[in-house]
Amino acid sequence: MRAFVRVVDRGSVSAAARDLHITQSAVTKRLQRLESLLGAKLFDRTQRPVGLTAAGQSAVEKCRRLLNDMNDLRAAVSDGRAVLADVRIGVAHALGEFVLTEPLGAVREEFPRHGLRLATGWSHDLVDLVRTGALDAAVVLLPEADRLPADVLATAVGKDRLVILGPRNKRDTRIRRIKDLEGVQWILNPEGCGARGILRRSLARAAVDLVAAVESYNYELQLLLASQGRGLTLAPERIFQASRLRARLQIVRVAGLHFPFTIWSVQRPSAELEPLLGRLNALLAASLACARR
């Protein structure tokens, strides 16, 4: 299971083998044994790059939970001390697996006596949950102009930028200004998304209506529909650059439309959790720096 999750997280057998300090053939054999035990194919090997089957998508999160439970069990019995309380961490929809997978995995290994409970949501909602104590911390994505409340501890861990994307094979040169977006259909996150709010307000100032043809939390689906010419979409540039659909898309540059964001780690004051959250912040900043390169 550990080999399976690591391949999914790292995107290749070779990268997983380096992380696990074993050979690529050993990783492949473990994957084959897991598929044999489960009686199902976890990877669609006809795709390039290889992708998960429906069974693989169902299995990966269950494997994560089982591995976490095993870590908790080892921590509970290794020295007779009880596992500490779970750390409740919120993650903004736009961050998820692309940024947090490796940092959270490393934190789990370095702080095995803490369980991690994750929740996803919109950034402003997550900040409010930290303020009320419903969450211990959150990693959020906010427009650069937004200011965080004074009663949370906030650390800027990176920068992000959203870009407008359309199909590469459609050389439509008419879209230069905001006014040119009149009648354009959009593929967007549902209401509550900060970038959608910026887009709506920018269009409104130019007396242009926002036409949301499709709403979805799934960026890969948004990129797929945009590549098929179903409309324009907004996505973090790092997600676009990492997507298997990158060659089928192009950035549409519109004068006066910019989406710079800051990635923040916010937390409630806690001396007990400071070592864990401080380590998470450092790992997250390093992960984002690598993604930018």
| Digit-coded pLDDT (tens) for 194-227 | 889 999 999 999 999 999 999 988 888 999 999 9
Of the listed ranges 60-64, 80-84, 91-95, the one predicted with least confidence: 80-84
pLDDT class of 163 with cuts at 50, 70, 90: very high
- 160-261: same fold as 1-66? no
How is the chain split into domains, by residue range? 1-66, 160-261
Distance CA 64, CA 12 (A): 18
pLDDT of residue 76: 65
Query: Is 3.40.190.10 the CATH number for 160-261?
Result: yes
Rounded alpha-carbon distances, angstroms, from residue 245 to 6, 167, 230, 237, 241 = 23, 10, 15, 13, 9
% of residues, the chain, pLDDT over 90: 33
CA-closest candidate to residue 264, choices 91, 86, 87: 91
- Please say if the pLDDT value at position 75 is more than 70: no
pLDDT tier at 15 (50, 70, 90 boundaries)? confident
What is the per-residue pLDDT for 104? 81
| Region 246-255 average pLDDT | 93
Token pair listed for 74? 């080892």
- CATH number 3.60.90.10 is the correct assignment for the domain at 1-66: no
d(CA 110, CA 112): 6
Smallest Cα–Cα separation from 230: which of 239, 221, 238?
221
Residue 206: its pLDDT value, please? 93
* pLDDT tens digits for range 259-287: 989 999 999 888 788 888 899 889 888 87
Pairing relation of β-strands 232-236 and 153-167? antiparallel
Residue-level pLDDT at 7: 86
Q: How far is CA 118 from CA 88, 192, 201, 204, in A?
A: 6, 19, 31, 36
Average pLDDT value for the chain: 85
pLDDT at residue 250 tops 60: yes
Say if CB 201 and CB 157 are below 8 A apart: no
112 within 8 A of 68, measured Cβ to Cβ: no
Q: 84-124 pLDDT, tens per residue?
A: 667 888 888 888 655 667 788 888 888 887 778 888 888 98
Q: Band the pLDDT of 291: cuts 50, 70, 90.
A: low
Phi-psi region of 186 (alpha: psi -120 to 50; beta: other; left: phi over 0): beta
The larger pLDDT score, comparing residue 99 to residue 26, is at: 26
Q: Is residue 185 predicted with pLDDT exceeding 90?
A: yes
Least confident of 15-29, 66-80, 82-96, 203-217: 66-80
Of 142 and 116, which is predicted with more confidence? 142
Q: Which amino acid is at 237?
A: E
Residue 195: count of CB within 10 angstroms of its CB: 20
CA distances from 266 to 6, 136, 210, 254, 281 (A): 27, 9, 32, 32, 10
